[in-house]
């Protein structure tokens, strides 16, 4: 467990959460509001440098986020009350690559269980389970069985050409 993950785990205390959030922001360049729900097994790769998480985000179990990635609103200048902010739900076993931007439209978005978002992508729509998304804007480039399953290992040798959608 790296220093960023330890700070995330300790941010629950009422007296220390403001101090810990400031340390995370000033030293590690991480903005992770205290009200973001985070499941067990959460990982920030490379100490989470540059990760920014929107307050209306819920993170599931075993989620990994690479540096310089973040979640937010697709239209941040719209004057919405806090209660109406678009929700970003990141389900279990998701991998978000380096420099990924997850931008929720007005209705919010969900990243399905086991989904992988490729480096440098801009995701602005919900995904299904066990998909690989990449590009600007991100598109589904592969659908398949859950990562780590025997069916996934057997399909690793297949090319992307066999998927339903192609990156444009």
Q: Which residue has the tokens 């990156």?
A: 167
* Residue 10 DSSP code: H
Helix (H) or strand (E) holding 21: helix 17-28
Quote the mean pLDDT of the chain. 82
Please give the pLDDT value at position 33.
84
Quick one: pLDDT at residue 11?
63
Q: What is the pLDDT of residue 167?
A: 45
153's tokens: 């290992």
In a domain, 71, yes or no: yes
Q: Is residue 163 part of a domain?
A: no
* pLDDT tens digits, 6-37: 767 766 655 566 777 777 777 778 888 888 89
The helix-helix angle for 3-10 and 17-28 (nearest 10°) equals: 160
Residue 49 lies in a domain: yes
pLDDT of residue 24: 75
CA dist., res. 24 & res. 4, Å (int): 7
The answer to whether position 164 is within a domain reads: no
Give strand pairing partners of 116. 95, 132
Q: What is the mean pLDDT of residues 54-68?
A: 94
**Does 167 map to a domain?**
no
Distance between CA 20 and CA 18 in Å, rounded?
Answer: 6
Contact residues for 22 (Cβ-Cβ < 8 A; gap 6+): none
The percentage of the chain sitting over the pLDDT mark of 90, rounded to a whole number, equals 49
Among 49-53, 109-113, 148-152, the range with the most confident prediction by mean pLDDT is 109-113
Q: Work out how many domains the chain is built from and give that number.
A: 1
Residue 102, domain extent: 3-157
Query: How far is CA 150 from its chain centroid?
Result: 25
pLDDT, tens digit, for every residue of 78-137?
777 778 888 999 999 999 999 999 999 989 999 999 999 999 999 999 999 999 999 999
Give the integer Cα–Cα distance in Å for 118 and 134. Answer: 5
* CATH number of the domain residue 31 falls in: 2.160.10.10
Contact between 60 and 31 (Cβ < 8 Å): no
Determine, yes or no, domain membership for 85: yes
Rounded to a whole number, what is the distance in angstroms from the first to the last CA of the chain?
38
Distances (CA, A) of 68 to 39, 47, 65, 97, 137: 20, 11, 9, 9, 17
More confident residue, 44 or 158: 44
52 occurs within a structural domain: yes
* Within-domain flag for 35: yes
- 166 has pLDDT over 50: no
**DSSP for residue 141:** E
């Amino acid at each position: 467990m790296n220093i960023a993950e330890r700070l995330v785990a300790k941010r629950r205390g009422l007296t220390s959460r403001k101090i810990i959030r400031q340390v995370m922001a000033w030293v590690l360049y991480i903005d992770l509001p205290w009200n973001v729900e985070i499941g067990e097994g959460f990982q920030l790769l490379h100490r989470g440098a540059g990760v920014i998480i929107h307050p209306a985000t819920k993170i599931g179990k075993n989620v990994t986020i690479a540096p310089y990635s973040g979640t937010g609103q697709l239209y941040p200048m719209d004057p919405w009350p806090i209660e109406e902010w678009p929700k970003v739900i990141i389900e279990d076993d998701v991998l978000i690559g380096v420099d990924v931007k997850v931008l929720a439209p007005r209705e919010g978005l969900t990243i399905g269980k086991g989904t992988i978002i490729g480096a440098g992508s801009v995701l602005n729509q919900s995904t299904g389970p066990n998909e690989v998304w990449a590009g600007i804007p991100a598109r589904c480039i592969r659908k398949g069985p859950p990562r780590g399953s025997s069916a996934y290992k057997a399909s690793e040798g297949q090319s992307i050409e066999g998927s339903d959608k192609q990156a444009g």
